[in-house]
Amino acid sequence: MTPPRPAIVAVLAALAALVWGATPAAAQLQGLENGEWHYLGGDAGHTRSNPHLTQIDASNFPDLEVAWLFRGDNFGQFTEFTARSTPTYADGVLYTVFGGRRQVVAINPATGETLWTFREPQTMRYRRSPRADFGKGVAYAEVDGRGVIYITSPAYFLWALDAKTGHPLENWGSQVPLEDFSPTGVVDLIPTLVGDWDPWRDYLAAGGTYDADLGVPQELGMVTASAPPIVVNGVVVVLVGHEPSYDQTRIENVPGDIQGFDARTGEFLWKFHMIPRPGEFGHDTWENDAWRFSGDMSTWAPAAADPELGLVYLVTNASTVQAYTGHRPGHNLFGGSVLALDVHTGERRWHYQIHHSDQWNYDIPTAPILMDLTVDGVPIPALIQNTKQGLIFALNRETGEPIWPIVERPVMQTQVPGNYTAPTQPYPTRPEPLDPIAVDGITEEFLIDYTPELRRRAAEILSEFRVGGLYVPSLPWPHDNDYRNNVGCMAGLNIYHPPVADPSTGIMYASHNRACSAPAFLVPTNGVDEPRGLPGLSAESWRGRERHTPTTGTTVAAYAPGGPRESLPTIDGLPVYKPLYQALAAYDMNTGEKLWDIPIGETPDRIRNHPLLQGVAVPETGGTGFSIQMVVGDLLVQTTEDLRGDSEVSENGLPLLHARDKRTGQILASVELPVSGQYGMMTYMHENKQYIVLQAGSAKQEHPGSLLALALP
pLDDT tens digit string along 46-74? 999 999 999 999 999 999 999 999 987 77
Cα–Cα distance, 522 to 558 (Å, whole number): 9
The C-alpha angle 661, 301, 232, rounded to 5 degrees, equals 90
pLDDT for res 14: 41
Ranked by mean pLDDT, which of 182-191, 236-245, 617-626 comes out on top?
A: 182-191
| Residue at 73 is within a domain | yes
pLDDT for res 11: 42
Distance of CA 49 to the CA centre of its chain: 17
pLDDT for res 27: 73
Cα–Cα distance, 308 to 343 (Å, whole number): 11
Q: Which residues pair with 467 in a beta bridge?
A: 487
pLDDT at residue 535 tops 50: no
* Domain carrying residue 260: 6-711
Cα–Cα distance, 666 to 636 (Å, whole number): 9
Question: Would the pTM count as exceeding 0.75?
Answer: yes
| Residue at 1 is within a domain | no
Phi, psi of 444 (to 5 degrees): -50, -35
Q: What DSSP designation does 571 have?
A: B
Those residues with Cβ within 8 angstroms of residue 615's Cβ, 6 or more apart along the chain or in another chain = none
pLDDT at residue 551 tops 70: no
Q: Pick from 172, 326, 167, 165: which is nearest to 236 by CA? A: 172
pLDDT at residue 7 tops 80: no
pLDDT at residue 541 tops 60: no
CATH of the domain at 594: 2.140.10.10
| Residue at 611 is within a domain | yes
Give the total number of structural domains in the chain.
1
Task: Count CB-CB contacts under 10 A for residue 632.
Answer: 25
| Residue at 114 is within a domain | yes
- The pLDDT confidence band at residue 282, using thresholds 50, 70 and 90, is very high
Q: What DSSP designation does 328 have?
A: S
Ramachandran region, residue 102 (left: φ > 0; alpha: ψ -120 to 50; beta: rest)? left
| Residue at 457 is within a domain | yes
pLDDT at residue 268 tops 70: yes
| Residue at 95 is within a domain | yes
Cα–Cα distance, 501 to 357 (Å, whole number): 29
Burial state string for 488-526 with b = 16 or more CB within 10 A and e = fewer than 16: bbbbbbbbbbbbbbbbbbbbbbbbbbbbbebbbbbebbe
Write down the mean pLDDT value for the chain: 89
* SS3 of the chain: helix, strand, coil, percent, to 5: 10, 30, 55
Cβ-based burial of 484 (10 A; exposed 0-12, middle 13-18, buried ≥19): middle
Judged by average pLDDT, the poorest of 181-185, 504-508, 653-657 is: 653-657
pLDDT at residue 545 tops 50: no
Cα–Cα distance, 360 to 462 (Å, whole number): 21
Can you spell out the DSSP letters for 606-675?
A: HHHT-GGGTT--PPP---SSPEEEEEETTEEEEEE--SSS---B-TTS-BEEEEEETTT--EEEEEE-SS
pLDDT for res 644: 62
Those residues with Cβ within 8 angstroms of residue 478's Cβ, 6 or more apart along the chain or in another chain = 563
pLDDT for res 422: 96
Those residues with Cβ within 8 angstroms of residue 159's Cβ, 6 or more apart along the chain or in another chain = 104, 118, 120, 150, 151, 152, 153, 168, 185, 186
- The pLDDT confidence band at residue 704, using thresholds 50, 70 and 90, is low
pLDDT at residue 538 tops 50: no
pLDDT for res 698: 63
pLDDT at residue 19 tops 50: no
| Residue at 313 is within a domain | yes
